Structures are given as structure tokens and as C-alpha cells.
Structure 1
Amino acid sequence: MDKSAREREEVILKLLEEKESLPDKEKDQMAWVREANQHRAIAEEIVLKELIYV
């Protein structure tokens, strides 16, 4: 990924976290990892559609 794609991904991740916060990492680490991975997958898909496939 180039720099603009990475920056866009970080912006999207922040927006996703604001909309749907991640579980408490200390209380349930597996749930946190699962949700963080889901957020990353969503952000990557959006970046691919916006910057690469267009």
C-alpha cells in the first residue's frame, strides 16, 4: 500500500472506532483482537474500492 492508502485506512479505522468502539482489551483480549481485525478488514476493503478499483 502506498502512503495515501495507509493514511486513508487510518482515518477509516478511527471513524469505525468512534462508531463502534472496541471491547476492553484487558477484560477480553480475544474479543478485542476479533473486532480489531474486523475493523481493519472493513477499512482495507473501503480503501481498495476508493483508491484502487476506481
Structure 2
Amino acid sequence: MDYNLMREFADSWALLAMALFFVGCIAFALRPGSRTQADEAARIPLKDD
């Protein structure tokens, strides 16, 4: 009984949660203003201190 219940949960709600998390990560990366932060982070290894 436990396996079937967990399998049903994984097939429905867990899959939906993972898909929403993935879409949220993509939306966070493409938000306005993130380009400047990404460019600044990309230049960190090249800085001479």
C-alpha cells in the first residue's frame, strides 16, 4: 500500500512541483536586471587584485 501511494504522489504532485521549480528558476534567471549581475559575476575571475 505504501509503495502505490508514494508512486501515485510522485507521478502527480511531485512532478508538478518539480516542473514549477524549473520554470521558476528559468524565470529568475531571465528577470529584468539580471544581465548586469551576470556580466559582473562573469568578470570576477579576470579581476586583478
Name the TM tier (shorter chain). Answer: 0.3 to 0.5
Q: Which has the larger radius of gyration?
A: 2
TM superposition score normalised by structure 2: 0.45
Q: What TM-score results when the alignment is normalised by the length of structure 1?
A: 0.42
Greater relative CO (CA pairs within 8 A, separation 6+): 1
Q: Name the one with the larger helix percent.
A: 2
